[in-house]
Chain A
Amino acid sequence: MNDTPINPMQELWQQQPVEGTHMSIDEIRRRASKFERRIFWRNIREYVAAGLSASLFVWFSVQNQNTLFRVACGLMIVGLAYVCYQLYRRASARSLPGDLGTTNALQFHRAELERQRDFVGHIWRWHLGPLVPGLATFGAMAMLDARAHHVHPWVAFFVNLFFVSVLVLAWKFNAYAARCLQKRIDELYTAEASE
């Protein structure tokens, strides 16, 4: 405890009115299990969304007789499955880590930022990249089929260009977010190193 005379702002701070929130042990237990359930259902929702997307591609491939189209759908399903696995491994909704009391604020904050940086910094490797083979096959098929369907190849080209731009933008945005996080991590390293 600080032995120095209390600063007027400390007094102002410590004497501010509070609501006096109290939670009994039973309430804590109930809320903790409710919190866990919420996380469980959030994860389930993610898997269901991925499952629906995969089913959609299965349905598309059953409806369409074009081999290249079926290959593209298959590649998309494999890509989505890989993305889901990585989402589960890296970033599925989780409760707070259990070492909150043993880790000081600096270590805790840095670890959280590093986890987030790795998540967004490697997005190409685990999120965008796995979808590229499927998307590229769809793109190639669109170019090849354009003439057969009396569509000018340039139209197919621009549609493909649009999808490529979306991927590049997503990559650039995440790379920017990773740089922002790295800047904050560096600040924390500097704060820790300065004596």
Chain B
Amino acid sequence: MIASEAIPAKPTSRKTGEKWGTQVQDELYEEAASSFSSALERLARAYEADPDHRRDLLQEIHIALWRSFAGFDQRCSLRTWVYRVAHNVGASHVAKQYRTRPEALVGLEELESFPDPHRREAAADRSIALNKLLEMIQKLKPLDRDVILSYLEGLDAEEIGEITGLSARNVATKIHRIKNILAHFYNEGGRSRE
């Protein structure tokens, strides 16, 4: 296994170069899979509610990740690369489902303005709270979904900007909204638990 920061130098001959490329690709994938497999599973869960389709999506993400490492250029961290690939595969999956029904998905703004009346009941129990959180995430538009998922995974604003392509200010505004939505979600659940 190799650390992504220390990829060995590329050999000069073509044949050895190809072998080297495949070896690096495999090793990078191994490293990414061992470090981020749980995060990828959580991400697939946020993009697909149906367990069978989710398994397919997760496999698709793993395959896309392995393939993508053939072109890993080290211009960003391994973590950013992994999340970019996973989010792009997830967004592509969502786009297929909502081609002609964009209104079926909402943005963070709408979610903040119209809180779900059932949240109080939802957050009373940890597992129910998690299911309701997933339901809420699955309603979001792809880009807002990427931001909230990255935030929940603990990524900072700079990394979220690198993954989504949004400006730092835009990310900050969205994170502020996300914090409000999540605080509302948590506090209401907390009151109902008392």
Residues of A in contact with B (beta carbons under 8 Å apart):
1-3, 6-10, 12-14, 16, 18-23, 25, 28, 31-32, 35, 96, 98-109, 112-113, 116, 176-177, 180-181, 183-184, 187-188, 191-192, 194-195
Residues of B in contact with A (beta carbons under 8 Å apart):
26, 29-30, 33, 37-38, 41-42, 45, 55, 58-60, 62-64, 66-73, 75, 81, 84-85, 87-89, 91-92, 95, 99-102, 126, 129-130, 133, 141-143, 146, 151-156, 159, 162-167, 169-170, 179, 182, 185-186
Residues from chain B with a CB closer than 8 A to the CB of A22 are 33, 37
Pairwise interchain contact B166-A106, C-beta atoms closer than 8 A:
yes
The smallest beta-carbon distance between B160 and chain A, in angstroms, is 9
Residues from chain B with a CB closer than 8 A to the CB of A20 are 37-38, 41
**If the complex has contacts A9-B185, A113-B95, are A1 and B126 also in contact, measured as CB distance less than 8 A?**
no
3 closest Cβ contacts across the A-B interface?
A104-B165, A106-B165, A13-B152
Pairwise interchain contact B92-A104, C-beta atoms closer than 8 A:
no
| Sample of 17 more A-B contacts, CB < 8 Å, known A16-B42, A20-B41, A100-B64 | A1-B156, A12-B126, A13-B130, A21-B62, A23-B33, A23-B62, A28-B29, A28-B63, A96-B64, A98-B68, A100-B88, A101-B69, A102-B71, A106-B143, A177-B99, A180-B99, A192-B165
- Please name the residue on chain A nearest to B142 by beta carbon: A109
Pairwise interchain contact B91-A176, C-beta atoms closer than 8 A:
no
Q: List 13 A-B contacts (CB under 8 A).
A: A9-B152, A9-B186, A16-B130, A32-B66, A96-B64, A100-B67, A100-B68, A100-B84, A102-B73, A104-B84, A104-B165, A180-B100, A180-B102
Pairwise interchain contact B151-A177, C-beta atoms closer than 8 A:
no
Pairwise interchain contact B133-A13, C-beta atoms closer than 8 A:
yes
Q: B interface, by DSSP: helix, strand, loop or mixed?
A: helix
Residues from chain B with a CB closer than 8 A to the CB of A116 are 95, 99
Pairwise interchain contact B99-A9, C-beta atoms closer than 8 A:
no
Pairwise interchain contact A105-B84, C-beta atoms closer than 8 A:
yes
Pairwise interchain contact A12-B130, C-beta atoms closer than 8 A:
yes
Question: A14, A22, A96, A105 — which one has the most chain B CB atoms within 10 A of its CB?
Answer: A105
Pairwise interchain contact A10-B152, C-beta atoms closer than 8 A:
yes
Residues from chain B with a CB closer than 8 A to the CB of A107 are 165
Residues from chain B with a CB closer than 8 A to the CB of A16 are 42, 45, 130
Residues from chain A with a CB closer than 8 A to the CB of B142 are 105, 109
For the complex, what is the distance from the CA of A22 to the CA of B67, rounded to whole Å? 16
Residues from chain A with a CB closer than 8 A to the CB of B101 are 180
Residues from chain B with a CB closer than 8 A to the CB of A10 are 151-154
For the complex, what is the distance from the CA of A77 to the CA of B172, rounded to whole Å? 57
Partner of A103, one of B84, B151, B167: B84
Pairwise interchain contact A1-B154, C-beta atoms closer than 8 A:
yes
